[in-house]
Structure 1
């Protein structure tokens, strides 16, 4: 007959001596005080017959995103049958788990308070202080988010800027994609691939209309100087170029959208390259303090001009043309549009696509979306972003601790 001996340690003591799980490390990086202060009744959300701590409810939602759970039902089942998960989140390990309706009410309260944006901003600042963000270049882009609610005809949609709507955009192959729902706009640091600013809009909202708001959020959430803002052709609007240059003293790296565009001024090509009197494109020769320099293509060996090098200028240096970015921020840029340095910066824009991929494949941005209304969808997106940034911070803190111990 086997007799089970009594445990020397309690359940809580046994967990404390175990190696910390990934979720524990992430939760330890979060300072939830600003979040709890913004809730109506900080510290707990009351659900009969027993109150549950608000910080535990929020930790459970983060665990839901980390484990890529699709519904509140899955979360409740995990909490019910996993006492370790209950303990890590902050619930009583031998108590009951919150119900689905409890999480639903807490989620509504969280969405109304808007406190997750504060937590997100604090994590961005923490990542910047740890040197995880470079911030010299920020990519801005948007992705589709299909709505959880049932689609309705466009004529029945109330156009108040908050309801789900129909959107259409082209994929990488130019094929149109149509969906009913929302758009998630993100400013992404190109070094780490981490989001530093976010906004959710109905799907019919154009990318360019949100660009300047995202730029403002990027600059407000960080301390470092952002030099380049990288965007695709959907953001090709003169106001975006001008505001980024004049207000934020940065350079917009945006692909030209020639559809419906006017012809370039006389003497210039589409990308702002001067055309010499013999109708050859002049050679870009560098930029300095917002001034681009171009030289004669014949003297640079790029063409065989029938008029020779002395046709346009008597100088030994031959013909030189300079353009100033301030004269036309859209046509002229520093570095010059199409140059190797410009193209190198523009290629970094793909980091925003990687960020979207992690949101959708690892954090359940679309598959895990089981809430309606734009405020709750934005809360869902912030939970994804908070989980991603907190995970990166936790990994680097753990690596630093190991290095110090070694």
Structure 2
């Protein structure tokens, strides 16, 4: 006859002596209190149910561990006791069912709880100096719908359903999809999202630029965007926020540049030569251009005296406030401008991480509210994971 001896330590006690896993370190970097305050208060009657904190941790673990479906998440919770413990579920209680997760996901999709948590993590990343916030890149990416594609004439006109979208890729080929668009504002230093918007696929990218700017608490110095965002309202919005929009000009089939300027909106002299950019007064928003002949850039047949009797040559000053689209600091086409615009590619790498590593391209829910919740969970997981890794690095250096 064999008698099984009771364990000397409980599972919880044993876990306290184990090295912290990656998942545990990520959860330590997340303060769930702002999210829990936004959720509806549970009724005092009926069963207590499962902890909201544990359920939201399970959804984040699903993204961090690349678990594609909730069905597989439930199976992982049943078979992996360490995983279940780190998510915050009691080992004595049954694992939440698929229906429980579905109802909770519906609840958080109907509230702004995930947006509140996302904003709190952005603030934490700024405090930890993970996010610089000086240069921000804005762009949009296609998100395929889990819903069945329908012809354009049968689409719902309420503006919130999945629609057909079309966009040119980096090679100039047109990509068509049925679903939504994920619009991101990304800190170029850390390549982390700081503002998120989700729209139907047929929504123009430029319509979400200003709403993304409005979501950013700590206003940057520069906004980098591609040619699709070349609109006067975007430049004006950036200028009003004491920032500069770094956007290539979209010629829109114009045959000739405006009179007195070249294609980069550089003023030209009386002989038609582009003048030399000679710096700017950033605080006043004034750009200075000098005579190209005096600066040695061209050999003007009329010399510099034709435009100005001064030995310094002709000088033209332009104010950014007069035309924020044409004039910017630094001036479009200069090395400094090109260097800033090159940082725009950080948003592409953010999209790549969200889709390839965190499941942003494997949407298994329908409706824009649930799709938004799915994508917000992906962004929250990316933020929390980066904050946790940064803190671990600092702890190792301090040790």
TM-score (norm 1): 0.94
Q: Matched residues in 2 for 1:104 and 1:273: separation?
A: 57
C-alpha deviation, 1:272, in angstroms: 1.2
Match among 102, 106, 120 for residue 122 of structure 1: 120
List per-residue Cα deviations over 1:121-157 (Å, max 9, x = no partner): 0000011011111111100110000001111111111
Task: Give 1:347's match in structure 2, choosing from 324, 339, 342.
Answer: 342
Q: 1:196: which partner in 2?
A: 194
Question: Does the CA-based 8 Å contact 2:34-2:120 persist in structure 1?
Answer: no
The equivalent residue for 2:67 is 69
Structure 2 CA distance, aligned partners of 1:27 and 1:122? 14
In the TM superposition, what are the counterparts of 1:12-27 in structure 2 within 5 Å?
12-27=12-27
**CA distance 1:196–1:254, change in 2 (3 Å):** same
Q: Secondary structure at the match of 1:52?
A: coil
Shift of 1:30: 1.4
Map 1:92-103 to 2 at 5 A.
Answer: 92-103=90-101
- Structure 1's unaligned 5+ residue stretches are none
Q: 1:274 to 1:21 in 2, by over 3 A?
A: same
Equivalent positions of 1:3-402 (< 5 A) are 6-41=6-41, 51-218=49-216, 220=217, 222=218, 225-246=219-240, 248-261=241-254, 263-288=256-281, 289-367=284-362, 369-402=363-396
* 1:106–1:44 Cα change, 3 Å: farther
Equivalent pair of 1:42/1:54 in contact (CA under 8 Å): no
CA distance in 1, matches of 2:377, 2:50: 20
Q: Is the 8 A contact 1:43 1:55 kept in 2?
A: no
Contact 2:264 2:333 in 1 (8 A): yes
Kept after mapping to 1: 8 A contact 2:220/2:243: yes
Query: For residues 42 and 352 of structure 1, what CA distance do their matches in structure 2 show?
Result: 39
Structure 1 CA distance for aligned equivalents of residues 129 and 18 of structure 2: 30
Larger CA deviation: 304-313 vs 341-350: 304-313
Residue range with higher mean Cα deviation, 289-298 or 196-205: 289-298
For the Cα contact (< 8 Å) 1:207–1:234, is it kept in 2?
Answer: yes
Aligned partners of 1:45 and 1:53 also within 8 Å: no
| CA–CA separation in structure 2 for the residues paired with 1:334 and 1:177 | 34
* Deviation, structure 1 residue 311: 2.1
* Residue 260 (structure 1) shift: 3.9
Worse-superposed segment, 307-316 or 176-185: 307-316
What is the TM-score when the length of structure 2 is the normalising length? 0.95
Aligned-residue offset at 1:310? 2.0
Instruction: Provide Cα deviations, 1:269-321, integer angstroms capped at 9, x if missing partner.
Output: 12110111111111111111311111111222222212223221110101111
CA distance in 2, matches of 1:52, 1:241: 49
User: What is the rounded CA distance, in whole Å, between the counterparts of 1:15 and 1:62 in structure 2?
Assistant: 21
What is the distance in 1 between the residues matched to 2:45 and 2:200?
A: 30
Alpha carbons of 1:310 and 1:156: their partners in 2 closer, same or farther (altered >3 Å)? same
CA distance in structure 2 between the aligned counterparts of 1:297 and 1:159, rounded to whole angstroms: 56
Q: Deviations over 1:347-366 (max 9, x none)?
A: 10000001000000110101
- CA deviations on 1:37-64 (whole Å, 9 max, x unpaired) are 2111359998x8x721111111000000
Deviates more, 1:77-86 or 1:258-267: 258-267
Partner Cα distance (2:350, 2:133) in 1: 15
